[in-house]
Amino acid sequence: MGSRVEKETPLRRDARRNREMLIAAAREIYTDQGVDAPLDDIARRAGVGSATLYRRFAGRAELIEAVFGDSLRDILRAAEEARSATDAWAGLTAYLERIFGLLAADRGTNDLMTTGIQGVPSLDALRKENHKTLDDLLRRAQLQGKVRADATAEDLQFMLAALGRAVPGSTVAAPLAWRRYLALLLDGLRPEGSHPLPAPSLTPEQLGAAMLQLGKVRRPRAGRTD
């Protein structure tokens, strides 16, 4: 092969249109089913054949990248912003509340941030940046006496992932319940005594509904194992 840089032929108009339709359809379906949703569902919702989906995107990871690339970049900016806060604790809580708002509203973003999905480049970058942000804010908050000295960024990340993963379950019955649980988690990180919790507790019925949702891990793929 010559080293000539292949001029990137722009897609034909219909191909381009289908690409957009697929991304839009995927965004909607990911939002309420998560990123494990069947690819055929996405193709059908976009009004194209499944072959077209595979022609435009090599596989699930590439589609995810196309759908979430922008919103991931938004999160990166939020992380940078949070790190620039003088009051590290305030920066940390604001950052986490923003993240959890996303996790609660969008099942796809939730999957992306609370599990270890592989093969999506922007996602690796996000994870690294996220870790750095939490580490930095936590360390500074500790120096400022706002966070217990024996907690680590890994502790925080693990607890956040655990809680974040459970959030969609509670969202059905009580959309804002996550505020209370994030507050409870953060209270465990502080060296002083407890602070009042926001939002009412779940009722027993709401808890039941949430537990049910927890079980519906979701239609994972059958057929070829990827």
Task: Give contact residues for a second copy (rule: CB under 8 A).
Answer: 36, 111, 114-118, 131, 148, 150-152, 154-155, 157-159, 161-163, 165-166, 170, 177, 180-181, 184-194, 196-197, 201-204, 206-208, 210-215, 217-223
Q: Is residue 188 involved in binding DNA (CB under 7 A)?
A: no
- Residue with Cβ nearer a second copy (26 or 166): 166
DSSP 33-79: H-TTS-HHHHHHHHTS-HHHHHHH-SSHHHHHHHHHHHHHHHHHHHH
Check: CB of residue 117 under 8 Å from CB of residue 161. Answer: no
Read off the tokens for 111.
């999957």
Burial 62-99 (b: 16+ CB within 10 A, else e): ebbbbbbeebbeebbebbeebbebeebbebbbbbbebb
Measured distance CA(119)–CA(114) in Å, rounded:
15
In whole angstroms, the minimum distance from the beta carbon of 140 to DNA comes to: 43
Partner that binds at residue 52, options DNA, a second copy, none, CB closer than 5 to 8 Å by kind: DNA
Place of tokens 């779940």: 202
Site string for DNA, 30-59 (x = CB under 7 A): --------xxxx-----xxxxxx-xxx--x
Q: Does 20 bind DNA (CB under 7 A)?
A: no
Which segment (11-19, 110-118, 177-185, 194-202) binds DNA by CB under 7 A? Answer: 11-19
Residues that bind DNA (CB under 7 A): 11-15, 18, 38-41, 47-52, 54-56, 59-60, 219, 221-226
